Amino acid sequence: MKVDKKSGWLSGVRLVASPNHDRRPHGVAIDLLVIHNISLPPDQFGGADIEKFFTNQLDINAHPYYAQLKDVKVSSHFLIRREGEIVQFVPCRERAWHAGVSSWQGRNRCNDFSIGIELEGSDFAVFTESQYQSLVRLTRCLQRTYPLKDIAGHSDIAPGRKTDPGPFFDWAQYRAGLKK
C-alpha cells in the first residue's frame, strides 16, 4: 500500500470515488487523522449502504432511519470494513466532508487539515482484529506521506455533538500496534 502523492489515491485498496469533496485551502498541511465509526442501517454491518451514502446513491426509502439522511452530502477518505478491507472514497490531497463543525487544538474546520477514516462499526460493538490491523497499516502508510502530528476521534474534535469512534474502540491496542 502506497500513496501516490500527486493524486492522493492509495494503491492496493478498493477505490469508490465520492463526489462529496472539494479542494483543501492552499498551503494547509494535512496533520490530523480522525477516526470515526459508521453503520447503515445503524448497528447493522455488511452491505453496500455506506458506499451508497458516500456516493449520494442511498435509497432513503430502504430503511426508516434513512429519511433523516435525505440530501445529506458527506464522505470520508477511507472506510475499513469489518473483515479489514480498506475502501478509499476521496483522494487524500482533497478535503473530504467527514468532520462537520469541528475544532482541534484551537483550529476550526478540521476537514481542512485532516484525513478521515471510518470504521464499519458503532458505539455498541467491538471492532474486529482485522480492522485494527488494517487501521495500523493504513495509518503507517499515511504517516510516511503526510506530516500527521495528531490522531483523534470524531468525539474529540466535535465533543457533545459526536461520540465516535465510541467506547468500544481500543485506543491502547491501536497505539500499541503503531509502535510495533
Q: Mean pLDDT, to the nearest integer, of 146-151?
A: 96
Find the catalytic residue in 51, 85, 118, 120.
118
Residue 118, SS3?
Answer: strand
Domain boundaries, the chain: 2-179
| CA 109 – CA 93 distance, rounded (Å) | 16
Q: pLDDT tens for residues 40-78?
A: 999 999 999 999 999 999 999 999 999 999 999 999 999
In CATH, what number does 2-179 get? 3.40.80.10
Residue 180's pLDDT is 82
Each residue's pLDDT tens digit, 120-130: 999 999 999 99
Whether 118 is catalytic is yes
> Measured at the alpha carbon of residue 169, what is the angle toward residues 165 and 173, in degrees to the nearest 5?
135
Res 159: pLDDT: 95
Confidence at residue 67, expressed as pLDDT on a 0 to 100 scale: 96
Q: What is the pLDDT of residue 31?
A: 97
